[in-house]
Structures are given as C-alpha cells and as structure tokens.
Amino acid sequence: MGHARKALRTTAVGAVSATLIAGTALGVAPAAQAAPSGIRFVDIAGDGGTVLKGNVVMPSNADGSRTYPLIVLPTSWGLPQVEYLAQAQKLADSGYVVVSYNVRGFWQSGGEIEVAGPPDIADASKVIDWALANTPSDARNVGMAGVSYGAGISLLAAAHDKRVKAVASLSGWADLIDSIYSGRTQHSQAAALLDGAGRITGRPSAELQQIFKDFFASNLAKEQELIAWGKKRSPATYIDQLNKNGAAILLANGWGDTIFPPNQYAKFYEQLTVPKRLEYRPGDHATAEVTGLFGLPNDVWKDTSRWFDHYLKGVDNGIDREQPVQLKSRSTGGYEGYPDWKSVGATRKKIALGGSSTIRANVNSGADGGIIFLSSILDQLAQLPPVASIPLLPRRYAAVWQSEKYASAQQVRGTAKLHTTLTSTKESGTLVAYLYDVGPLGLGKLVSNAPYTFHGQTPGKPFGVDLELFSTAYDVPAGHRLALVVDTVDPLYIEHNPTGAQLTFSSPTADPSYVSVPLREQ
C-alpha cells in the first residue's frame, strides 16, 4: 500500500493540473466566443430551493405563438454553465428551447456535490418544471443530454421522470462501481482527478469527502457501503424503470475512457429494450466530444442532434434505420455498423496460456496502461498507444505469453476475456493484465488492459480467475503477434500486494488457461 499512496500523491498533483487546463479549455473558451444573441442567464430553484445557475437559448423566431421541443443540459463535473453554449445555439437555431444549468455544488450554483444523488435527480425535474413554466417548451417533447457528469444525470433523470422522451449520454456512466472499482480495484488516477476537480471547482459534501477517504484508504470494512453508495447513483440500477418509461437512449463513449471504461456502457446497452444506439470512437474521457463544445464539426454532436430531431421532432432522418451499434476502430478511420453488441466480436480466438509462471509482486515490470488522458489522446490523434518491449520485460515480475505470428490482419473487436488459475503466497493481491500487439522487433503496442484484486484467499491454494479486459477495436497487422502480459503494479490503479508476495499462474489439464480474443467476422 505504500507504493499506492506515493503514486496517489503524484497523481493528485496531475489531477489538479489537468482540471485547471480542462476548465480553461472547455469552460472559458466557449464563453470567449460571441455570446448567442438570444441567451438569458437565469436562476432556477432546484430541489429544496437550492439555486441553480443556468442559461436559456431559444429559437430566434420564438414569439410565444407556438411551443418547441425542450432540451436540458446538465454540466460536466467541474465545468461552468457556459460549457454548452456553442451547441445550445446550434440546437436553438434548429428549433429547440435549450436550458443548460450548473449542477449543484459546482461554481455559482448552491448546495454541495452529491455525485448524481437523489438531490441531483430531483434538480433535473425542477429544471424541466421551470422551463415548461418560463419558456415556450413543449411538455410532450423533452430531451436531456450531457457530457460525463451531465450524461449520468440525464440517464438517471430519464429513469425517474417520465417526461424525458430522449437522452444523449456522452462519455457517461451506467455503473459507477464498474467504472472506478472494476475488478475490485480502485482506479486511483481517475478517482484522484474527480476528487481534485471537485475540490477546486465545487463544494464536496461531507459524505463525498468520507467516500473518497475510505476509497483511497482501501478500507475493506467500508467496501459494501461504498458499493451501495455507487449503485444508488448508477443508471444500470434503474434499468427496469428506464425500459418502462421508454425514453430513446443514445450512448457514446471513447475506447480509452479512463474515467468510465467502455465495458459498462456495453452491458447497459444490451439490457435496454427502448429505442437505443451505441457509439464508440477512439479517445479518452470526453475527448471525442470536445471539439463540438467549441462549435466545430463533430460526429458525436451531429448524431446527438439527429437523435433529438427524430425522437423529439419526428424527423425521418433515417437514424432509426441505421445499424444501432456504430464503432470506429482505433486503427482505421471509417465507421462499422452492427445490429447489436454481441455481433461485434462475432468470432473468438483463444490463445493458450500454457505452463506455469511465477512472478514477484510490488515491482512495476514496465508494462503499464499509460497515463490518464495523455495516453489515450495520443492514441486518438496519432495512433500511439502505450508501448513496451516484450522481450525485455523482466520475467521475474511479468508473466508473458504470445500467440503465433498471424498470416493476416486480426481485427480485434469487443471484449477480450482472461481465464487462468492463480496461486498466491498471500491472502490478498492485485494483478493487471495487458494485451499487446507485438511487431517483428518485439515492440508491443497496448491493445487493452484491466486490473483484478482478490482478498480472503488461502495462501498456497489455487483458485480460478476470470477477467474481462476493457472493450476495444484495434487492428493487428499481418506478421504481428498478440501477447498477454500480467504484472502486479500499474500507476492507474491501487495495488493490494503485501510485501514479498508471489503469484503463480498455471494451466491445469482439466481447466486450461487462455485469453479469448474477439474478432470481427471476415
């Protein structure tokens, strides 16, 4: 745990810096543009009378003689209410009343940060109430959208307010626990970024401060309490209500999202029975949407507009007839359409993880998932994911298995799955699995990764491990191999390996170990 705390202090500094940069880029820059002529800055009474600072943009020809569909935009975590002005103007120009508001606890809005808790959900309904009473909005056609924090609040609001008929949830979450505590492992850089941003730009509630304290302290006595807190704030918890209410839901995310990894959106999408669409693109958290916040051409916001045009205006623009799952590979520029998520990786190829391999814990082997935001942005813009020299990885600290050389390109699509048998010398521990694309010179480019933590195991007794790596779309060139690497330390996560721990991976004849790689049907 000493390693984790030291890394966390460093991460917190980076989180604060990243927050300040993001706040300047996403908040100040749109505000610096010419303000929309029809904008009104307003105070809205939220739940319990808490004042929410908002703004309204209406169609230029709105004269009170007719109503318009309403779109409500809750702000992202840590960003001011001017975040969506460029998009609000575009939506207003196409015939919508648009109300953006700063969620409670941030910037000039009142209250404390509740992390999409009941007060935030109630606030969304209060904003709809206010818009219907104070603008020419059509109560029969209400939509909600947002990036990140605003995305999650929009989904939660749709589960609790039947008036919401369409949602665009961009770089959001469906399962908060599966996002920052996947594999029973704390995603330390992601959580530190959220914590730092909240402290800089808002007022964390006493409950939230305690949640972060227990989270970073790895307090197992508080684990179930933390999980319950997260589930209460997860749209996936309310899947039945969402399906019953019937709002049309668009989900969009980045393959490399280090705040809300793509897996949890895909699982959520499969459970939805309402009109739905799932989009994945290269990039990290909210980076696929960012150019749209400046008013520049942007695929995510274009599809968001088309989604609302169809489900709030009834425009026959064909979005309901397109393949509902749309993916852009990290390796190529075009979109691929699929009828559902399970069709993405239509075939699976297993790589056998034979033999027995023992590694020592507490040392970073050199295989890492990268740095929050930076690594996935480099991958998005220049196709430069984190790399490692596979032949040079110290086998004392990293277990390595490789496939044969592939005669043809392998189009990895979906979720790779690891199955192995593990024996530890300690009752607790953490491993991190990495899937690499290995070129002729042995340089591995990261395809995917995921952490896994265990507690309460009997030292020396083997047990099974099943781990889903983060979903992705990546093309492995002909002549390359795939390699699975497992080590115990990664700066992205808190590790739980006691000093001196050793992990042994084996492949019993009756239960062989493997990694199952999903491939696009050729």
**pLDDT of 277-299, one tens digit each?**
999 999 999 999 999 999 999 99
Q: Is the pLDDT of residue 245 over 60?
A: yes
- pTM for the whole thing? 0.92
Residues with Cβ within 8 Å of 512's Cβ and at least 6 positions away in sequence, in order, are: 352, 353, 354
Query: Do the Cβ atoms of 152 and 116 come closer than 8 Å?
Result: yes
Tens digits of per-residue pLDDT, 45-96? 999 999 999 999 999 888 888 999 999 999 999 999 999 999 999 999 999 9
Strand segments, DSSP code E, in 261-404 are: 276-281, 325-328, 335-338, 347-352, 357-360, 387-389, 399-402
pLDDT of residue 23: 41
Q: Inform me whether the pLDDT recorded for 466 exceeds 70.
A: yes
Helix (H/G/I), strand (E/B), else coil: 453: strand
Provide mean pLDDT across the span 155-180: 97
Q: For position 384, what pLDDT does the model report? A: 87
Kindly report the average pLDDT of the chain as a whole number. 92
- pLDDT value at position 446? 97
pLDDT average, residue stretch 462-475: 98
Do you know the residue count of the chain?
522
- Block residue for tokens 């080590």: 487
Among 102, 70, 287, 293, smallest CA distance to 203 is for 102
Q: Which range among 26-40, 122-136, 281-295, 451-465 shows the weakest confidence by mean pLDDT?
A: 26-40
Q: Are 229 and 213 in contact (CB under 8 A)?
A: no
Percent of the chain with pLDDT over 70: 93
SS3 helix, strand, coil % of the chain, rounded to 5? Answer: 35, 30, 40
In this prediction, residue 118 has a pLDDT band, given cuts at 50, 70 and 90, of: very high
Instruction: Give the pLDDT score at 29.
Output: 36
User: What pLDDT was estimated at residue 95?
Assistant: 96
The pLDDT tens digits of the residues spanning 365-419 come to 999 998 887 888 888 888 889 999 999 999 999 999 999 999 999 999 999 999 9
Q: How far lies 284's CA from each of 30, 148, 296, 334, in Å? A: 21, 11, 19, 18
**Region 30-43 average pLDDT:** 63
Q: Token digits for 474?
A: 């990546």
Average pLDDT over residues 478-499: 96
Average pLDDT over residues 450-476: 97
Share of the chain above pLDDT 90, in %: 87
pLDDT of the residue at 492 = 94
